[in-house]
Amino acid sequence: MSRKGLLAFAAVWAALAVAAAARAKVFLTTDEALRLAFPDAKVEARTAFLTEEERRAAKALSGEEEPPSALVRYYAATRDGRAAGEAYFDTHVVRTESETVMVVVSPDGRIVRVEVLSFSEPEEYLPRAKWYEQFRGHALDDELSLKRSIHPVSGATLTARATTDAARRVLAVYRVLHPAAAATATPAPPPGARP
């Protein structure tokens, strides 16, 4: 390809990249999401390095085909000197574009909240905020599935699957990092059950 052809190709490639970035919708920054998750708490960034055995264990727990990265970055919160939970950010492909979610896990290994930080797919593939509330209280078990307690969303099936998979990945990594938390988690009540 000639130099002129390469420049034309580069210009088209750059235009496509700008168009893709313009499509991405950013809802929250990392700092904003952490403030929502842990108001009035001290939040500290942490890094863990998973061994091959821990990676295999997380893969088995999550049901994923691939093990997680050996490098795990998360945010631990403390309030009044006690653990207040941890936040993990998971970026994954929904259909052909990415989504980043924050999954907040309680000290006993349950999901506290799921927040969408950015979504690059068309917004009609994004479930309503109320849909994400059904993750609250779930531990890593068979109920955390689109075939069980997590209801699918018509028109956003791929997003629902990707988000559920992300929640399972995060809880699997959390359980590997904090094996004692799995022992304290009790099963989530069925949807609509009264405490």
Q: What residues does each domain of the chain span?
A: 26-184
- pLDDT for position 183: 56
Which residues are within 8 A (CB) of 65 and not within 5 positions of it... i.e. 6 or more apart? 59
The DSSP annotation for 50-84 comes to: --HHHHHHHHHHHT-SSPPPSEEEEEEEEETTEEE
pLDDT of residue 108: 94
Q: What are phi and psi of 102, to 5 degrees?
A: -105, 130
pLDDT of residue 4: 55
Residue 178: per-residue pLDDT? 94
Instruction: Provide the pLDDT for residue 156.
Output: 82
25 burial level (CB within 10 Å; 0-12, 13-18, 19+): middle
d(CA 92, CA 158): 11
**pLDDT score at 22:** 46
What's the whole-model pTM score?
A: 0.81
Residues lower than pLDDT 50 in the chain? 5-22, 186-195
pLDDT, position 181: 73
